[in-house]
Structure 1
Amino acid sequence: MVRSWVGESAVKHYTKETFNPTESVYFAIDRVRNRLLSQIDTALRGLGVTSRQMGILHLLGRGVADTPFELARRLDMDTSAMTRVLDRLETGGLLIRSRNTDDRRIVNLVLTKKGEEVVARIPEIAPAILSAQVKEFTESELNELRRLLGKFLVA
């Protein structure tokens, strides 16, 4: 028996009879995500970072998270993927990993001077791309899109 992610009482917007992957919400969200990532990756190339790395650097720079576990949780990444991205950032001289002195199981992350410089430049690049993609949206429409996408994250 295949376990359904949709509860019995939930509205079934998709059924096996009517499902068309290329017309699904998933497909549209995936296409939008891919387009944004591609554009942001291209724009960040001069800084030597990717969009995925940008999120990590941003959270570290704002002091929102300082461990791989906390970053992975906030960015919805598995710990293996997080480790690979952190390896690249460390190799690139953007951050330093060190063991917590109180609990050696915990790895602390700190931006290097180079990492701080990259973090400072990100707001010069990413907002222009995101703004271009939503330029046809009214403020109300953009707020509604944020609200609706938020419903995905709590479902």
Structure 2
Amino acid sequence: MKHYTKENFNLTKSVGFHLNKARNLVLMEMDAALKELDITAQQMGILLSLSRGTAATPFELSKLLVIDTGLMTRMLDKLEQKGLLARSRSLEDRRVVNLELTDKGRVVAQRIPEIAPEVLNARLKDFSKAEFDELLRLLDKFSA
């Protein structure tokens, strides 16, 4: 089924507009909350992914977080400059770069779960449990 046509398309009423607006609001609020840790919301995703073992290379992070490799490299550079992660070449394949959190990076990653849920809960405060579950279901379906 086609939900949009050239006759009925309205930018500010489109799914893309609303998703982008919601994303921007959450990122802005998360960035403000994470300021005390000196990281951004996007950097948070990298640190949590590394700390939880869901990714260990720039390629895996790019794929998981849906971030292009150029932006990923720049974000990793910043995290490395802040002393939060270290890069090393794989011994098996020199083309592969492995990432590891430093001690400082692990401390920062451990603090994120104290901050991030508060930001999300504030944005979701008017949602019932059923609405929250439905929102997650629909977003999963949309992004599949």
- Per the TM superposition, whether the score is higher than 0.5 is yes
The residue identity in structure 2 corresponding to 1:41 is: D
Matches within 5 A, 1:1-155: 11-154=1-144
The residue identity in structure 2 corresponding to 1:117 is: V
Q: Cα RMSD over matched residues?
A: 0.6
The one-character-per-residue Cα deviations of 1:10-60 (angstroms, maximum 9, x if unpaired) are x11110011000111111111111110000000101101000000000000
The residue identity in structure 1 corresponding to 2:45 is: G
The residue identity in structure 2 corresponding to 1:114 is: K
Q: Identify which of structures 1 and 2 has the higher relative contact order when contacts are C-alpha pairs closer than 8 Å and 6+ apart.
A: 2
Q: How many residue pairs align between the two structures?
A: 144
Distance 1:119 1:149 in 2: 26
Question: 1:3 maps to what in 2?
Answer: none
The residue identity in structure 1 corresponding to 2:124 is: V
The unaligned stretches of length 5 or more in structure 2 are: none
Bigger CA radius of gyration: 1
Which 4+ runs in 1 deviate beyond 6 A? none
Distance 1:105 1:18 in 2: 49
Distance 1:25 1:68 in 2: 30
The residue identity in structure 2 corresponding to 1:137 is: F
The one-character-per-residue Cα deviations of 1:52-85 (angstroms, maximum 9, x if unpaired) are 0000000000011100000000001111111010
